[in-house]
């Protein structure tokens, strides 16, 4: 019987999450798979973000007690910088994002935003400081205007239009017969992967958070769309701290710092040029991806 009620429990959890306006988090972190919840300490203060730096200080974390995923991870993301996290599949990249969003608390060490331990601040204030552009955004069966405005409750039409322009989706909307009132989703207009990601960028612009977490799509976008989205992200990232979880190294080569993660440890860090000179894991991954893209372009000829 318990088995029967579990899905109902989960539905309730998802519903509450949507009510709390945390749908993007649910998308990215697949909330439904997660049972652990963190609680605010009694009387916890809100995080106050003036200079949005992010610090991982000797962070130890595992989802299960007998399997450590992050083994004393330390790194620093200076305020207003663009940092990328790369590494083989399963290295722990998304785990870092989940911890930063305080979806879990680490078992050892601390995570700080602007010098404040996020474990001691309210979850809501930590989440308000971070805007996530997930790989694949969920759109509601509602108008495109609603889907963008969802980024911040009570946004005006003017603010929604500005966000759409910032996310470079306003040309598409202008071409629609009903503009922002066009229905999207199952009942209406179908958006491509790239367009959905632009809606997510527009939502994030409305939220206007000091820290951006960009989860690069693994494969969904064609190269041209991807380059355009990256261009938009670069504009949006100006004057913010940006952390990109990347699969294709070509998309993050111009980051200020690249963190190379391997089996929950920081294997290397530096700029693209520094890491290539080093001739380690990053250089190896770069060579492999370059060879793969050569093969693809040869096959296309």
CB of 98 to ligand ATP, least distance (A): 7
CB of 14 to ligand ATP, least distance (A): 16
For residue 10 the two structure tokens come to 């989960």
Pick the closer one to ligand ATP by CB: 36 or 273: 36
CB of 33 to ligand ATP, least distance (A): 5
> 239 — alpha (psi -120 to 50), left (phi > 0) or beta?
left
Pick the closer one to ligand ATP by CB: 71 or 110: 71
CB of 121 to ligand ATP, least distance (A): 23
Beta bridge mates, 60: 71, 108
Pick the closer one to ligand ATP by CB: 32 or 41: 32
Q: How far apart are CA 94 and CA 160, in angstroms?
A: 29
CB of 89 to ligand ATP, least distance (A): 3
> 118 — alpha (psi -120 to 50), left (phi > 0) or beta?
alpha
Residues of this chain that interact with ligand ATP (CB under 6 A) are: 33-34, 63-64, 69, 87, 89-95
Q: How far apart are CA 286 and CA 292, in angstroms?
A: 10
Residue 228, burial from CB neighbour count under 10 angstroms (0-12, 13-18, 19+): middle
Pick the closer one to ligand ATP by CB: 79 or 253: 253
Q: How far apart are CA 136 and CA 216, in angstroms?
A: 9
With b for 16 or more beta-carbon neighbours within 10 A and e for fewer, the 126-149 pattern comes to bbebbbbbbbebebeeebbbbbbb
CB of 186 to ligand ATP, least distance (A): 28
Pick the closer one to ligand ATP by CB: 45 or 90: 90
CB of 221 to ligand ATP, least distance (A): 16
For residue 285 the two structure tokens come to 């991954």
For residue 290 the two structure tokens come to 């370059």
How many CB atoms neighbour CB 16 within 10 A? 11
Pick the closer one to ligand ATP by CB: 93 or 198: 93
Q: Is the dihedral of CA 100, 49, 75, 134 positive or negative?
A: positive
Q: Can you say how many angstroms the Cα of residue 240 is from the centroid of all Cα atoms in its chain?
A: 14
CB of 67 to ligand ATP, least distance (A): 7
Pick the closer one to ligand ATP by CB: 85 or 173: 85
Pick the closer one to ligand ATP by CB: 34 or 122: 34
Q: How far apart are CA 30 and CA 27, in angstroms?
A: 5
């Amino acid at each position: 019987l318990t088995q029967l009620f579990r899905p109902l429990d989960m539905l309730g959890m998802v519903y509450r999450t949507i009510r709390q306006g945390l749908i993007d988090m649910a998308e990215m972190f697949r909330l439904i798979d997660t049972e652990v919840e963190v609680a605010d300490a009694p009387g916890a203060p809100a995080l106050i973000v003036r200079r949005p730096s992010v610090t991982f200080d000797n962070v130890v974390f595992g989802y299960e007690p007998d399997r450590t995923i992050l083994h004393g991870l330390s790194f620093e993301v200076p305020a207003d910088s663009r940092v990328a996290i790369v590494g083989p599949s399963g290295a722990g990249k998304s785990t870092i994002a989940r911890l930063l969003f305080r979806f879990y608390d680490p078992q050892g060490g601390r995570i700080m935003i602007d010098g404040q331990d996020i474990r001691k601040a309210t979850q809501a204030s930590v989440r308000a400081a971070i805007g996530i552009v997930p790989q694949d955004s969920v759109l509601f069966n509602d108008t495109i205007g609603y889907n963008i405005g969802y980024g911040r409750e009570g946004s005006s039409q003017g603010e929604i239009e500005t966000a759409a322009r910032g996310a470079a989706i306003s040309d598409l909307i202008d071409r629609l017969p009903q503009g922002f009132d066009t229905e999207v989703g199952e009942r209406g207009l179908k958006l491509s992967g790239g367009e959905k990601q632009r809606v997510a960028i527009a939502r994030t612009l409305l939220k206007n958070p000091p820290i951006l977490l960009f989860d690069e799509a693994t494969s969904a976008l064609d190269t041209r769309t991807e380059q355009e989205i990256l261009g938009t992200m670069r504009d949006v990232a100006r004057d913010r701290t940006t952390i990109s979880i990347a699969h294709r190294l070509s998309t993050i080569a111009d980051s200020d710092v690249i963190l190379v993660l391997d089996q929950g440890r920081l294997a290397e860090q530096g700029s693209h040029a520094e890491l290539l000179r080093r001739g380690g894991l990053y250089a190896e991954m770069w060579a492999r991806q370059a060879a793969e893209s050569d093969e693809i372009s040869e096959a296309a000829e």
